[in-house]
Amino acid sequence: MLPDEATSSLGLNRAASSIVLPVHGNVYPIGSYNVTLNIGQPPKPYFLDPDTGSDLTWLQCDAPCVRCTEAPHPLYRPNNDLVVCKDPLCEALHAPGSHKCDNPEQCDYEVEYADGGSSLGVLVRDAFLLNFTNGNQRTTHLALGCGYDQLPGSSYHPIDGVLGLGKGKPSIVSQLSNQGLVRHVIGLAELIVGGKSTGFRNLVMVFDSGSSYTYLNSQAYQFLTSWLKRELTGKPLKEALDDKTLPLCWKGRKPFRNIRDVKTYFKPLALRFASGRKDTTLFELPPEAYLIISSKGNVCLGILNGGEVGLQNSNIIGDISMQDKMVIYDNEKQMIGWGPGNCDQLPKSRSFSFW
């Protein structure tokens, strides 16, 4: 398991300096990780859900707030620096052909997430205080959402907002790129179970730190669950139909305390990424990277059916599968790398597999 406090880094300049953000949380039972960002003038701390699968960064906002969920800090109070409707960032928030604003002097937005949560608000610009690993600080102005109407999703937990780390124009990474602080990572993979190919190739995989669990498309998910059930035949496990923690759970003769109690019953999984060259790279998934122990002491599969949440053919590598891995997003080279590591420290070597 990852420790309750880990570290996230974002490279910011050609001198290899980085922003380091403390990360708090876990996959289960909290189901999320939060980072702290200091925003506003004067800067105030806010806990944000880091999400590499979405673009917009937003805070629950006293504008005033129509509907706001429970939050760790007082609501964000925006300044008067509104992003206007014709701004390219505003256009990028809307689907092609649907960009329009009731007021040309402001940019309205609405974002919806796979768990049913949403945020409605306006786009503003404000100061972000960034701390570098070399001890320097820098304040830069970035656009973010002032969310005055939020609906919690099924995986809701108290947060001040979302940190969008996707590749779209509104994302923090893209905005920093446009300011010259960073240069402006999806991959195709093959599913491997027990060391053998499943025949499921060219799976569109998205590394999404905003997702607690990993998702496969319906066909790959059905194959995986059928294979697991066959593998567990004759072993002292049976389906725990009364445990609704996740769709598929198993119980033993007595409650399990941790994954070590059951890992001998489960084989490792892997995703094989091909790079355009002849070589391939494995993203290994030991039992700890796809199983959890529920509050009932049962073992549950932390890989879910993406078809049931509208992902169609897309697949997601979520937090559960990134445990005990240092995942590097190399924006300079448009690559993703990973390797085993102590996730409460910054990496000290280059021993990473890059795809």
Asked if 143 and 55 count as a contact pair (C-beta separation under 8 A), the reply is no
Contact call for residues 131 and 17 (beta carbons, < 8 A): no
Strand 303-305 relative to strand 314-317, pairing: unpaired
Characterize 326-353 residue by residue with b for buried, 16 or more Cβ atoms within 10 angstroms of its Cβ, and e for exposed.
Answer: bbbbebeeeebbbeebebeeebeeeebb
How many residues in total does the chain contain? 355
- What per-residue string of b and e applies to 225-240 under the rule 16 or more CB within 10 Å gives b? bebbeeeeeeeebeeb
* Pairing relationship of beta strands 303-305 and 214-216 according to DSSP bridges: parallel
Q: What share of the chain is helix, strand, coil (3-state, %, to 5)?
A: 10, 40, 50
Structure token digits, residue 182? 């960073």
Any catalytic annotation for residue 243? no
φ, ψ for residue 228 (rounded to 5)?
Answer: -60, -45
Q: Which of 13, 145, 10 is nearest to 89 (CA)?
A: 145
Known catalytic membership, residue 4: no
Report the alpha-carbon distance of residue 310 to residue 52 in Å, rounded.
Answer: 18
Among 320, 290, 300, smallest CA distance to 252 is for: 300
In angstroms, rounded to a whole number, what is the distance separating the alpha carbons of residues 166 and 171? Answer: 6
Q: Which of 55, 126, 160, 208 is catalytic?
A: 208
Tokens linked to 201: 């190739």
Token couple for 326: 């240092």
Q: Please give the positions annotated as active site.
A: 51, 208
